[in-house]
Amino acid sequence: MSGAVADRRGGLGLAASRRRRRLWVLLLCGLGLGGAAALALTAFQDNLVFFRSPSDIVASAPVDGRAFRLGGLVEAGSVVRDGAEARFRVTDGAHAVSVSYRGVLPDLFREGQGVVTLGKMGPDGAFRASEVLARHDETYMPPEVMDALKRSGHWNPEQGAAPPAAGWNTMQPAGATNGQPARTGG
């Protein structure tokens, strides 16, 4: 009887130590793998970005004739449409690059909007785009809220990013469809 109990304890102790060893092996493998992945991602940093900003291009001039992606915001007041050709400037706040593009612009394209363009640097220092993609920011709001922010002067989408979300994400604009009619003539 006592022998059987001791046996069982011994067996459990062995199983527990095996479990502990397997856990350690897993943890060590995980650390090694995580470290290797972090090193690889850091090493390929330059290739993992989807586009380059105007400041990147000022810092290191692009190779002549090599296509790359240029991204940033469409500068307010810079869009000129000339038939099928559109010219605008892409800015990141610090620097701006002139872009020319022939073709259909995406629906979201407007001044102040994020864009990613694919093309080559022309001899005149302007970027000739063969593709323009629109980027949108991470703010989602009903048009009434956006109108209210615009009317109150808190945000002009053509000038840049939306104000901090805490200021508007629970806002109830007057005349909104939430069963609370605007109090008029009460």
Per-residue contact string for residues 53-92; x = within reach of other proteins by CB under 8 A: x-----------------x---------------------
Least gap, CB of 183 to other proteins (angstroms): 20
CB closer to other proteins out of 140 and 186: 140
Residues 98-157 that bind other proteins (CB under 8 A): 106-108, 116, 131-147, 157
b/e 17-41 (16+ beta carbons within 10 angstroms → b): eeeeeeeeeeeeeeeeeeeeeeeee
Identify whether the C-beta of residue 54 lies closer than 8 Å to the C-beta of residue 91: yes
Per-residue contact string for residues 5-44; x = within reach of other proteins by CB under 8 A: ---x---xx-xx--x--xx--x--xx--xx--x---x---
Contact window for other proteins (CB under 8 A) among 49-57, 73-81, 94-102, 119-127: 49-57
b/e 87-110 (16+ beta carbons within 10 angstroms → b): ebbbbbeebbbbbbbeeebeeebe
